[in-house]
Structure 1
Amino acid sequence: MSLSTFFTLLALAHAREIVFPPVSGYTTADQVILGGYNDPDISQPKFAGLATYANLPYVHCLAAEGKEVETFDIAVLGAPFDTGVTARPGARFGPSGIRQGSRRIFPGAGWSIYTGENVLLDWAKIVDCGDAPLTFLDNTAALKQLDKAHKVVSAKRSNASDYTTPRIVTLGGDHTTTLSALRSTYNHWGAVSVIHFDSHIDTWDPKALGGGISHYAGVNHGTFLHIAHEEGLVRNTSIHAGIRAPVMRPKKDVRNDLRCGFEMIKARDIDRLGVQGVIDALKKRVADTKVYISVDIDVLDPAFAPATGTSEVGGWSTRELLSILDGLEGLEVVGADVVEVAPVYDSPGEPTILAAAEIALSLIGLMVKNPV
């Protein structure tokens, strides 16, 4: 043994153990509940390490064929894509931003003050599958990759034996990514009613928004619902909520929107209908159908969600939107997403990513409360 090794071992033998005194006001039992000072719990890092949505377990859902993948019932999947935008880019960083906004959420302390329920610790096994690996150089190739990612994740074996198809909550990404999600839901449940929270209608004809330059240019975040209608993915019982942005063609765009199967609740309608009135109208429209819920974060007023590509003033508050979403309990929600979050435009207080994280939790709650 070398002399340096000897002195190192000697120092370790006489090292002082640091013991923290009890915290005033807490009993020993309380310290155990809190994790303790002298026996700290290091299994649940909230602000360090790899970030998953709501500190949920990570599962490599996109593992190569033949690899064993852990079972799950609801998957969170990131779609880092923003080259289908018509205004400010940045939503490719939306999935990581939303996960960052969810750091304060975790299953062990997820009981709702409103309902007393904890949807993260209910019957459903909920996991974060990470992000679909999407190229940023070719939109057509990226959407094919996302189509495949949805196909792979939704084909995995569910954890609950009674409900065999896992459901997916997608974190966008610009709104073009919803097209892949709708294709996935169609493969398992057929055409769905879409509840589309947005300030824009997103049913524009690709010739109008894309200019007819090419098929490539016509597939974007303002045309995906038109394309979904043409592909037969959505029912004529769909509805927009929170619309307030102007249209390009005063009659043609609205007529085309109706042709695509959508009714419309405008942003200012909430002043007349109230939150419950909006909930009732949405439920009536999609009654007795399978439902896909898509939330563009710009449905919120820029005062509540500045970090998005195409802001429109006069939108709903975060509280109003969350109340409406929670009021949709009972619907058969087979898929959902939160999109158009571009964290680079957020303020230091991070209101947009915090709102998006809470919206995702509400969408998960709707799935948990009504298994499909």
Structure 2
Amino acid sequence: MKTFIVLAVALAPFFVAGHQIPLTDEKPPTWLSKYGAQGDQPFSGPLSFAHLPYTRCLENEDTAFDVAILGMPFDTAVTYRPGARFGPYAIRSGSRRQRETGGYTIAWGNSPYTQGVKIIDCGDIPVTPFDNAVAVDQIEVAYSTLLERTPVGGFGQRDITRALSKDGLEHPRIVSLGGDHTIVLPILRSLHKVYGPISVIHFDAHLDTWKPEAHYPHQRSEQSRVTHGTFFYLAQEEGLISNNSIHAGIRCKLEGTQDLENDREVGFQLITTDDIDDLGIPEVVRRIRDRVGSTPVYLRYGNVIFVEQA
């Protein structure tokens, strides 16, 4: 009896409801043969910006692109709330719903994925959290490294970097993910090497043109002048930006009218949040275009930093 039970259990996988299942040498289907190449779901896969191809471009020197996404996890020059070092991670996480399929937008009348331009996520700069001077230098070196790469050429006749660059060559664009606002200073230093003084379109609540000695009189070292609120002043001091830059969306409190005078000396024209409400978007856009003209332009929006030529 015991032998019969053991034998019945052993043979059970080959019988269903009294019917014998024939044995076969046929291999089970593979994923590709049954489901095909589907890519990742919006909520799955490696964490890259909008599911773009991901490469450590700073280490892989043969990597070519037209537009690079570059994270800058730096936040040790803020005066109040640190934590922006996690900004690149958060931005990429928030971008997971964006992808090549479904990239067409009615507002633009096209899809950025169908313009023949190679866009890749180049990862993060491994910024040190222990030495701000080193960190600022790391950002400048990394940005300059990518800016000097030969682009794939996807912009074609639409590329205008050749006409704007000092060497007459085409250069890639870089979308920078911050990071506290201090990262703009090393970025502008890098851009100056290629384009000379550059105009800035700055969408933010704060001016970021504070004079270090006026706002931080107790800071004694040269490095302590470099903060998330002084970088535009320092950029003007170093001759990195032109005198036709512009803010849009300013709503911060000031110490007085001297802050506005200093802001104008740095080279900025001012559009406040009230102006945006009163003037409307078309007029704001017109004023921005009139201000920067045909100069090379660095566009900065809050903690998402990127460059584009006007």
Q: TM range, normalised to the smaller chain?
A: 0.7 to 0.9
Deviation (angstroms), 1:286: 0.5
After superposition, the CA RMSD in angstroms is 2.9
Q: Take 1:166 and 1:212, find their aligned partners in 2: how far apart are those partners?
A: 41
Other-structure match for 2:66: 73
Residue 51 of structure 1 aligns with an amino acid whose one-letter code is L
208 and 17 in structure 1: CA distance in 2 versus 1, 3 angstrom threshold: same
Other-structure match for 1:279: 285
Are residues 1:260 and 2:293 paired? Answer: no
Aligned residue runs from structure 1 range 351-362, under 5 A: none
Aligned residue runs from structure 1 range 292-331, under 5 A: 292-296=298-302
Other-structure match for 2:276: 270
Are residues 1:50 and 2:9 paired? Answer: no
Structure 2 counterpart of 1:102, from 72, 95, 98:
95
Q: Normalised by the size of structure 1, how large is the TM-score?
A: 0.68
User: Is the partner of 1:207 in helix, strand or coil?
Assistant: helix
Structure 2 counterpart of 1:141, from 134, 140, 157:
134
Aligned residue runs from structure 1 range 231-270, under 5 A: 231-248=238-255, 250-270=256-276
Q: Take 1:116 and 1:253, find their aligned partners in 2: how far apart are those partners?
A: 41
Are residues 1:169 and 2:175 paired? Answer: yes
- Structure 2 gaps of 5+ residues are 1-10, 15-20, 160-169
Structure 2 counterpart of 1:60, from 53, 56, 60:
56
| 1:243/1:264 contact within 8 Å kept | yes
| 1:206/1:212 contact within 8 Å kept | no
- Per-residue Cα deviation, 1:198-244 (whole angstroms, up to 9, x for no partner): 11100001112333412222211100000110111100000111111
Aligned residue runs from structure 1 range 70-219, under 5 A: 70-160=63-153, 164-213=170-219, 214-219=221-226
Q: Take 2:41 and 2:190, find their aligned partners in 1: how far apart are those partners?
A: 33
Q: Take 1:209 and 1:38, find their aligned partners in 2: how far apart are those partners?
A: 65
41 and 238 in structure 1: CA distance in 2 versus 1, 3 angstrom threshold: same
Q: Take 2:26 and 2:185, find their aligned partners in 1: how far apart are those partners?
A: 61
- Per-residue Cα deviation, 1:284-341 (whole angstroms, up to 9, x for no partner): 11011111111115xxxxxxxxxxxxxxxxxxxxxxxxxxxxxxxxxxxxxxxx15xx
Residue 52 of structure 1 aligns with an amino acid whose one-letter code is S
Deviation (angstroms), 1:194: 0.2
Deviation (angstroms), 1:274: 0.8
- Per-residue Cα deviation, 1:106-127 (whole angstroms, up to 9, x for no partner): 1232111223301122122111
- Structure 1 gaps of 5+ residues are 1-6, 19-35, 298-337, 340-359
User: Is the partner of 1:86 in helix, strand or coil?
Assistant: coil
Q: How many residues align?
A: 277
Deviation (angstroms), 1:40: 4.4
Runs of 4+ in structure 1 displaced over 4 angstroms? 10-18
User: Is the partner of 2:93 in helix, strand or coil?
Assistant: helix
Residue 193 of structure 2 aligns with an amino acid whose one-letter code is N
Larger Rg: 2
Residue 227 of structure 2 aligns with an amino acid whose one-letter code is N
Q: Take 1:271 and 1:289, find their aligned partners in 2: how far apart are those partners?
A: 27
User: Is the partner of 2:260 in helix, strand or coil?
Assistant: helix
68 and 184 in structure 1: CA distance in 2 versus 1, 3 angstrom threshold: closer
90 and 68 in structure 1: CA distance in 2 versus 1, 3 angstrom threshold: closer
- Per-residue Cα deviation, 1:129-156 (whole angstroms, up to 9, x for no partner): 0000101111111111111110111111
- Per-residue Cα deviation, 1:22-75 (whole angstroms, up to 9, x for no partner): xxxxxxxxxxxxxx9952434334322321111111122101xxx552210111
| 1:210/1:219 contact within 8 Å kept | no
| 1:211/1:218 contact within 8 Å kept | no
Aligned residue runs from structure 1 range 14-33, under 5 A: none
Q: Normalised by the size of structure 2, how large is the TM-score?
A: 0.81
| 1:78/1:95 contact within 8 Å kept | yes
| 1:74/1:126 contact within 8 Å kept | yes
Structure 2 counterpart of 1:230, from 216, 222, 237:
237
Q: Which is worse superposed, 197-206 or 157-166? A: 157-166
